Amino acid sequence: MSTAVRVGWVAIALWQAALLGSTAQAQEDCPPGDEFCLPPPPCYRAPDDPECNPDCHCGAPDYPECDPFCAPGDICDPSCANPCWDEFGREDLCSDPPPPCEATGELPFTFIDDRDGSDDGQIFALGNRDPRQSCGTVRVDTTGYYSIFDTELSESCDDQRDETGYLTVANRCNAEGWAVERNAGDRFLVFDSDNSPDCTDDAECGVGRVCREGGGHGRCCVPDQPVFMGTFLLVEGEDNVICINHWCPEWEMEIDAGRDFGFVEADCEGVNSIHFRIGATAIACEDETTLQPCSWGCGPVGCLPDPCEAVTCPAFCMDGECLDTNPCADVTCVHGCVRGRCLQNRHARGPDEDGDGYSDVADCDDDDPFAHPGRPEVCDDGDDDDCDGFVDEASCERLGGDAGTTTLPDGRVVGLDGGAGGAGGEEGGCGCRAGGGAPTPWWGLALAALLWRRRK
């Protein structure tokens, strides 16, 4: 064996060892098939707090002991059971609440106040005695997902705190009635937002709030926009049961179980009534652009499948109809697009069949771990690798020269697209692969080409 060949085999061995090592590390630190690692969850305390330990997060081995503010006996979310809620930013991390619907004067559904023993046009619940839950009926002409807002959620100012609750809308395709959004386990809580002392004008309230009469409880600072109550599936042809549920009874049960989802300020000590005058104060709109489990309707035993899975189209497909133009070109999506519908936040709840860290409503192909938002687009492989709604898009056509292609030892010229950005580009970074294979480091390709030339 010549010296050149011996050196070549040693180089190959070193390259393989490095590749296996990096792959093992990627498998340990990242979702399967994803070379773009997620950052750890945020610090339990406010990240800009000088006493906050940035290494103290839900995944830390010494959590919650690493939290300098967590005194012995305190409940510092030891189970990390509420990963969707950012306590400091007061926002849901697992979904993207929509902007308020336009107030048109009429709702896209009919509310019937027929389930709580009163026909006063509202559902209400109390925090320390019955009714803890109050329900009515909603009927709709078109099955779909509807975002619901309340224009007068705040009503009792500083004298009643912890008026926190959540809606459910139950039907045959959503038996539990949960909203699409989640911030406390399976629920989407709407927390009390009018706990300010008496005010006299808007200037006292700050950005995003106004001074308003609070339902006979004086004037206080309340949100200046309608309050988002959640996005719900409504099914035509049946009575959808809408309920408002008070959070305090369940919060107390969580405390007894050693968990604390929060959302309370006064330990749920008062009556704390919550009201939703649906006919008078609600606004709602149908969301037809976001990918959801039942985007194609509700059947007798559950959500209907995407009809495009049963047809073969020469170009594009949406809702079972073949199209000549790409339906993703007509929508603007933050996280990516598939067949004309926007993908959800990468943390959206749902099954993840391919194990790539993206649920079925956040992934354009949940059977392929090498296709999800943030992946580099692989040129000429016939797949939408980065889930932006386009296959082998224009960025691949522009590649060339020393910046965009490489020649493999067998003579194939492979385009390397480091990510097209825009819709679907959630995670930046560099890493390219030949069509259908695992990620291929640039140094691996260079070494292979060098060894091929030496053998010749």
Which pLDDT does position 397 carry in this prediction? Answer: 62
Which pLDDT does position 42 carry in this prediction? Answer: 54
Above 90 in pLDDT, residue 436?
no
Which pLDDT does position 356 carry in this prediction? Answer: 87
In a 3-state reduction of DSSP, which class is residue 89? coil
Looking at the structure, tell me whether residues 201 and 243 fall in a common domain.
yes
Full residue range of the structural domain in which residue 380 is found:
3-36+305-455
Looking at the structure, tell me whether residues 130 and 9 fall in a common domain.
no
> Burial letters for 366-390: b for 16+ Cβ neighbours within 10 Å, e otherwise?
bebbbbbbbbbbbbebebbbbbbbb
CA atoms within 13 A on the CB side of 228: 21
Q: How far apart are the first and last CA of the chain?
A: 15
Q: Which residue has the higher pLDDT, 297 or 71?
A: 297
Q: What is the mean pLDDT of residues 436-443?
A: 38
Distance of alpha carbon 8 from alpha carbon 422, whole angstroms: 42
- The backbone region for 34, taken as left when phi is positive above 0, alpha when psi lies in -120 to 50, beta otherwise, is beta
Q: What is the mean pLDDT of residues 127-132?
A: 90
Please give the structure tokens belonging to residue 453.
């030339």
Which pLDDT does position 149 carry in this prediction? Answer: 96
Q: Report the alpha-carbon angle 248-251-254, nearest 5.
A: 160
User: What does the pLDDT look like over 185-200, one tens digit per residue?
Assistant: 889 999 888 888 889 9
43: confidence class by pLDDT, cuts 50, 70, 90: low
Domain end (from 238, 259, 287): 287
Number of domains in the chain: 2
Distance of alpha carbon 265 from alpha carbon 270, whole angstroms: 11
Which pLDDT does position 198 carry in this prediction? Answer: 86
Which pLDDT does position 231 carry in this prediction? Answer: 96
Looking at the structure, tell me whether residues 235 and 319 fall in a common domain.
no
The 3-class secondary structure across 281-339, one letter per residue, is HEEEEEECCECCCCCCCEECCEECCCHHHHCCCCCEEECCEEECCCHHHHCCCCCCEEC
Domain end (from 252, 287, 322): 287
The answer to whether the CB of 179 falls within 8 A of the CB of 200 is no
80: confidence class by pLDDT, cuts 50, 70, 90: low
Beta strands in 185-247 (DSSP E): 209-213, 219-223, 227-234, 240-246
Helix axes 3-29, 442-455, angle to 10 degrees: 160
Looking at the structure, tell me whether residues 381 and 331 fall in a common domain.
yes
Residue 296, domain member (yes or no): no
User: What does the pLDDT look like over 213-272, one tens digit per residue?
Assistant: 876 678 889 899 999 999 999 999 999 999 999 999 999 998 888 777 888 888 898 778
